[in-house]
């Protein structure tokens, strides 16, 4: 029978980390809010439990993790969650401006900025932060309970606000479909294909090979590279915006993007020009020549989109199945 | 060569198209349900680069395929704090004065009700002052109207809130004066302060001292702008004051002080010590705190400040319109209860601070005031204005704050050893500062701590 995690309950947590919890209780200046050590220890336990899950964590890793938290912010969130008035007053005095600025900036980004809206958006969080009574026991569930001190409280609040704003924006149906956006740029290949051009009997084969080659090339990109790709081509962010998001200089992003594009093209071309052995019930396929590769690219663009879920779901660079 | 160029162009177009199509594919795929999206904390930690490389990579894989999360990250990145304009800060100051609003959802109904009322009044501070200023000018420019109402002045003064009344100069007495607020309230108009947290906190903070000083200075400034008719009015009012001020003052003196009254706060002394070189501000402050005859004596001796005192005393003593104006926004003064008036060496920049963490700044020698965002709701008890941009504040429960640009206040960590056995930090009743990083604070138990590095370290002196 597996040993229970020390993070499973407060008692077990305190049995192992009581000293650290006491130390962090002092460091977080919980006394300012009159926050009892048990309440703070419970928030530490919840944080560690969320980070390490139900697994048996390495005590050193847990200790390092707990020490790395934003303790003062965690204490404040915990005190607010407990409904301590003094903490709430401090929170509002300290973070209201922050929230309002963030709301204003977010609304500016969506072209709907005005003071009243920003204030409304920012203030809309308070009820959730305080928590509404729910459940059979009528216990209040404060949004603060979801703050575990991994980031600054101010950043977390902005993230919560951003989630709220984005979800509101998405549900309001203001998103423009990609098809509509691309309509002006990309000719309707389907219409062209159904014209008088005679169908190529090898078309399906080329497209199939292309899709597999592309999946492989894509899976070989790192998650960060895939994210850059999505930011650039899907979200239409500028290099500077991507750089800000990833905390990198735009020239670095530009270099990464260029390298990625080249790697994709070469990866796909290379895969197409190689003979592929039979696998997964698929017959062996001969290598394509330059002209056929050209055609494969053309057909692929016309027959887009492909289902790349499998390749993109991979958490990191994947092995080329063709090389197996 | 042409053929090579063509090929290269073709390749570039191909790779561009490929990448674009891949982007589209990323957008269309939904490998993760929204329930699997990272929570706000992970997103915030990612944005702060606080996640480890492995965890970052996992989530980046998600972000690559999740338009929602990318959008959230983008919005988050775009909402990084930017300093507010002064006007915005002023607006926020008013909003922050309504800080108790969310506290309303606590279960302490009684406290809530009082707080809400106080906040409601505070929100109207600006328009009320504006209206009062306009009324002051208008009243001052209409001597006949004033004359007809003169007979009622005693009554009006008697009804005025306590800060209109020349109060006793001794801090101890002031404390007791505050303690006797409930009895005072019987005499007050509707503008009387609420007996809630604010007014309770206000009690030891010498509210009658600073508040009228500000009001009088404002009123005097308004009168200064008025034509000769105002001067006439002023001189007649000065005469009138001699007849009315003292009796009024006596009439409104608080009842006998309770022997159990708390000791006088050191804040006022500390403030005065701080503002020693800042003669003008101190004049306004101390003269306001003094009894009217004392103010008059000072007035005779000190020139321009004295003339202001006279005007102040005049307005206070018996002029009904001014009394009305005082009454109109007296409530706000009581709420704010500035315990300190600080003047920068340049003379043009002043700060005042007090109960509930209120901080205001004037860059025109006190003619106009702008609320500033305070990093604490604790009462400020002492301060030190080092320059037009650097100022320190210290207050209850270990609160210390500093501004280095004159606008944004930041909390300064108090000395940890100052905390008692119960981990409670003391009240700071005095502060001196040399610059933005060197300061010495005095606790209510007499201990002094000095910092040479902006509060990072403190040394017991």
> Mapping DSSP to helix (H, G, I), strand (E, B) and coil, where does residue B441 land?
strand
Q: Model confidence over B412-430: pLDDT tens digits?
A: 888 888 887 777 788 888 8
Contact check, Cβ <8 Å, A231/B70: yes
Q: How confident is the model at residue A307 (pLDDT cuts 50, 70, 90)?
A: low
- Say if residue B354's pLDDT is above 70: yes
Closest in A159, A262, A265 to B47, CB measured: A159
User: How many residues can be counted in chain A?
Assistant: 324
CA distance A228 to chain B (A): 7
Helix A10-27, helix A59-67: angle, nearest 10: 40
Mean pLDDT score, A284-313: 72
- Say if residue A272's pLDDT is above 80: yes
Q: Which of B333, B199, B353, B339 is nearest to B267 (CA)?
A: B339
The overall average pLDDT reported for chain A is 76
- Say if residue B139's pLDDT is above 60: yes
- Taking the C-alpha atoms of residue A70 and residue A147, their distance in angstroms, rounded to an integer, is 10
Question: Which pLDDT score is estimated for A105?
Answer: 78
Query: Pairing relation of β-strands B359-362 and B350-354?
Result: antiparallel
- Say if residue B298's pLDDT is above 60: no
Closest in B19, B57, B102 to A315, CB measured: B57
pLDDT higher for B211 or A28? Answer: A28
Question: Which pLDDT score is estimated for A308?
Answer: 60
Q: Is the ipTM of this complex over 0.90?
A: no
Question: Which pLDDT score is estimated for B71?
Answer: 82
Residue in chain A nearest B64 by alpha carbon: A227
Q: Across-strand partners of A133?
A: A140
| Residues B21 and A307: beta-carbon distance below 8 Å | no
| Residues B223 and B311: beta-carbon distance below 8 Å | yes
| Residues B163 and B312: beta-carbon distance below 8 Å | no
- Percent of chain B exceeding pLDDT 90 equals 2
Question: Which pLDDT score is estimated for A199?
Answer: 66
- Say if residue A322's pLDDT is above 60: no
Q: Model confidence over B263-272: pLDDT tens digits?
A: 333 434 433 4
Least confident of A142-146, A295-299, B343-347: A295-299
A135: how many CB neighbours lie within 10 A of its CB? Answer: 8
Least confident of A56-65, A70-79, A148-157, B302-311: B302-311
The overall average pLDDT reported for chain B is 60
| Residues A33 and A79: beta-carbon distance below 8 Å | yes
Closest in B65, B80, B425 to A312, CB measured: B65
Residue in chain A nearest B92 by alpha carbon: A97
Chain B interface disruption, residue of A68, A127, A154, A162, most B CBs within 10 A:
A162
CB pairs under 8 A between A and B: 262
Chain A contacts of B65, Cβ < 8 Å? 226, 230, 312-313
Question: Which pLDDT score is estimated for B300?
Answer: 41
CA distance B252 to chain A (A): 35
Contact check, Cβ <8 Å, A152/B73: no
| Residues B327 and B153: beta-carbon distance below 8 Å | no
Q: Model confidence over B168-194: pLDDT tens digits?
A: 333 333 333 333 333 344 433 333 333
Chain B contacts of A253, Cβ < 8 Å? none
Question: Which pLDDT score is estimated for B110?
Answer: 39
Backbone angles phi, psi at B260, to 5 degrees: -90, 15
Question: Which pLDDT score is estimated for A215?
Answer: 78
Question: Which pLDDT score is estimated for B180?
Answer: 36
- Percent of chain A exceeding pLDDT 70 equals 77
Closest in B41, B56, B78 to A156, CB measured: B41
Residue in chain B nearest A257 by alpha carbon: B19
CA distance B331 to chain A (A): 22
Question: Which pLDDT score is estimated for B270?
Answer: 38
CA distance A245 to chain B (A): 6
Query: Pairing relation of β-strands B338-343 and B370-372?
Result: unpaired
Question: Which pLDDT score is estimated for A198?
Answer: 54
**A119: part of which helix (H) or strand (E)?**
helix A115-130
Measured on CA atoms in the order B81, B87, B90, B96, is the torsion positive or negative? negative
pTM of this prediction? 0.45
Q: What are the angstrom distances between the C-alpha of B370 and each of B120, B121, B349, B383?
A: 18, 17, 11, 17
Query: Pairing relation of β-strands B370-372 and B359-362?
Result: antiparallel
Three-state SS string over A28-65 comes to: CCHHHHCCCHHHHHHHHHHHHHHHHCCCCCCHHHHHHH
Q: Model confidence over B207-255: pLDDT tens digits?
A: 333 333 343 344 334 334 433 444 444 444 444 444 333 333 333 333 3
CA distance B73 to chain A (A): 7
Least confident of A130-134, A234-238, A264-268, B152-156: B152-156
Q: Model confidence over B326-353: pLDDT tens digits?
A: 343 333 344 446 777 888 888 888 888 8
Contact check, Cβ <8 Å, B44/A229: no
Question: Which pLDDT score is estimated for B363?
Answer: 87
Q: Model confidence over B81-129: pLDDT tens digits?
A: 554 444 444 544 454 444 443 333 334 433 443 444 444 555 667 777 8
- Taking the C-alpha atoms of residue B453 and residue B458, their distance in angstroms, rounded to an integer, is 8
Q: Which of B399, B406, B389, B387 is nearest to B431 (CA)?
A: B399
């Amino acid at each position: 029978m597996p040993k229970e995690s020390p993070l499973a309950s407060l008692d077990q947590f305190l049995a192992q980390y009581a000293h650290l919890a006491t130390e962090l209780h002092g460091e977080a200046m919980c006394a300012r809010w009159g926050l009892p050590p048990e309440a703070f220890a419970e928030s530490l336990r919840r944080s560690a439990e969320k980070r390490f899950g139900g697994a048996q964590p390495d005590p050193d890793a847990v200790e390092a993790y707990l020490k790395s938290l934003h303790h003062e912010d965690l204490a404040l969130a915990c005190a607010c969650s407990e409904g301590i008035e003094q903490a709430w007053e401090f929170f509002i005095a300290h973070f209201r401006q922050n929230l309002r600025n963030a709301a204003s900036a977010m609304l500016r980004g969506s072209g709907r900025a005005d003071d009243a809206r920003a204030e409304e958006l920012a203030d809309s969080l308070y009820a959730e932060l305080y928590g509404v009574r729910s459940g059979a026991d009528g216990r209040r569930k404060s949004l603060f309970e979801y703050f575990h001190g991994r980031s600054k409280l101010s950043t977390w609040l902005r993230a919560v606000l951003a989630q709220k704003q984005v979800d509101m924006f998405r549900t309001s149906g203001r998103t423009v479909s990609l098809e509509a956006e691309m309509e002006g740029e990309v000719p309707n290949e389907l219409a062209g294909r159904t014209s008088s051009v005679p169908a190529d009997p090898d078309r399906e084969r080329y497209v199939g090979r292309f899709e597999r080659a592309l999946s492989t090339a894509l899976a070989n990109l790192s998650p960060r590279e895939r994210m850059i790709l999505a930011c650039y081509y899907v979200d239409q962010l500028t290099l500077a915006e991507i750089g800000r998001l990833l905390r990198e200089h735009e020239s670095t992003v530009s270099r990464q993007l260029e390298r990625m594009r080249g790697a994709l093209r070469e990866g796909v071309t290379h895969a197409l020009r190689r003979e592929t052995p039979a696998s997964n019930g698929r017959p062996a396929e001969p290598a394509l020549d330059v002209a056929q590769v050209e055609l494969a690219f053309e057909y692929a663009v016309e027959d887009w989109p492909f289902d790349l879920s499998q390749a993109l779901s991979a958490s990191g660079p994947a092995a080329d199945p063709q090389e197996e | 060569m042409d053929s090579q160029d063509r090929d290269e162009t073709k390749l570039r177009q191909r790779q561009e198209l490929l990448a674009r199509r891949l982007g589209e594919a990323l957008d269309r795929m939904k490998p993760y349900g929204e329930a699997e999206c990272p929570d706000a904390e992970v997103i915030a930690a990612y944005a702060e680069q606080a996640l480890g490389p492995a965890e970052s990579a996992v989530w980046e894989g998600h972000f690559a395929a999740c338009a929602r999360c990318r959008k959230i990250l983008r919005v988050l990145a775009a909402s990084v704090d930017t300093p507010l304009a002064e006007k915005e800060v002023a607006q926020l100051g008013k909003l922050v004065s309504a800080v108790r609003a969310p506290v309303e959802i606590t279960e302490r109904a009684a406290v809530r009700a009082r707080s809400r009322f106080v906040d409601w009044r505070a929100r109207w501070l600006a328009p009320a002052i504006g209206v009062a200023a306009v009324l002051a000018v208008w009243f001052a420019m209409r001597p006949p109207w004033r004359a007809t109402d003169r007979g009622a002045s005693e009554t009006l003064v008697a009804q005025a809130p306590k800060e209109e009344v020349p109060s006793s100069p001794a801090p101890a007495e002031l404390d007791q004066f505050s303690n006797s607020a409930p009895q005072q309230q019987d005499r007050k108009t509707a503008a009387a302060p609420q007996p809630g947290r604010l007014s309770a906190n206000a009690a030891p903070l010498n509210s009658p001292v600073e508040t009228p000083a500000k009001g009088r200075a404002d009123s005097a400034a308004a009168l200064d702008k008025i034509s000769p008719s105002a001067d006439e009015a002023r001189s007649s009012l000065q005469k009138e004051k001699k007849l009315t001020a003292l009796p009024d003052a006596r009439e409104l003196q608080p009842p006998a002080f309770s022997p159990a009254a708390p000791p006088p706060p050191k804040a006022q002394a500390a403030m005065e010590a701080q503002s020693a070189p800042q003669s003008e501000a101190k004049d306004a402050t101390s003269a306001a705190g003094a009894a009217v005859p004392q103010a008059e004596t000072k007035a005779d001796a000190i020139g321009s400040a004295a003339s202001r005192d006279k005007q102040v005393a005049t307005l206070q003593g018996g002029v009904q319109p001014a009394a009305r104006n005082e009454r109109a926004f007296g409530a706000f003064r009581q709420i704010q209860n500035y315990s300190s008036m600080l003047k920068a060496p340049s003379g043009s920049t002043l700060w005042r601070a007090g109960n509930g963490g209120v901080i205001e700044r004037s860059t025109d020698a006190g003619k106009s005031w702008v609320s500033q965002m305070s990093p604490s709701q604790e009462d400020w008890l002492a301060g030190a204005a080092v320059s037009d941009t650097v100022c320190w504040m210290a207050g209850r429960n270990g609160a210390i704050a500093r501004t280095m640009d004159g606008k944004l206040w930041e909390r300064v960590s108090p000395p940890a050893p100052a905390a008692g056995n119960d981990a409670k930090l003391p009240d700071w009743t005095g502060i001196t500062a040399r610059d933005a990083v060197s300061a010495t604070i005095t606790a209510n138990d007499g201990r002094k701590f000095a910092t040479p590095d902006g509060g990072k370290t403190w040394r017991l002196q």
